[in-house]
Amino acid sequence: MKISELCKMIEGSIRNGKYPLEDQQQKDLAAYVEIINKSESEDLKAQDIKIQVKIQNVYTLNNYVPNIQHLPGVIEMDVLDSFKMLCRRVARIQAPGEHDSKHITISTERFPDSIDPTQKK
């Protein structure tokens, strides 16, 4: 089997819901997942196998060596884990939260003397 065929098979399985997805967000983002062979070869016995998992402009790049037992299964599990991780990351990027820079306030009050980090003891 060629690496790009394996990538397309896994991508299709994620999009078709063949893997158990944890929430509605993962089900929605499954339509946007791309699994891309970034290796210089199509051979699963190549020295450096690189698989990119991408959702929109957020991606991971996983490297593999050919002597791993059950390599296609390992790649499949890693891709699924990477997809779920990217879904969480995309959610943090899209959701406004307490770390949103628009909501940062800076206090102009001085620290009380007991906790002033500039004061020497």
C-alpha pair distances (Å), 81 with each of 23, 26, 75, 88: 14, 12, 10, 11
> Would the pLDDT of 72 be above 50?
yes
Tokens coding 28: 């929605």
d(CA 15, CA 10): 9
Please identify which residue in the block is written with the tokens 């593999």: 64
> Would the pLDDT of 101 be above 80?
no
Q: For position 104, what pLDDT does the model report? A: 44
- The gap from C-alpha 120 to its chain's centroid, in whole angstroms, comes to 46
pLDDT in tens, 38-57: 999 999 999 999 999 999 88
Please state, for a pLDDT cut of 90, what percent of the chain lies above it: 64
Length of the chain: 121
Please state, for a pLDDT cut of 70, what percent of the chain lies above it: 78
Contact call for residues 54 and 33 (beta carbons, < 8 A): yes
> Would the pLDDT of 119 be above 50?
yes
Contact call for residues 42 and 3 (beta carbons, < 8 A): yes
**112 band by pLDDT with thresholds 50, 70 and 90:** low
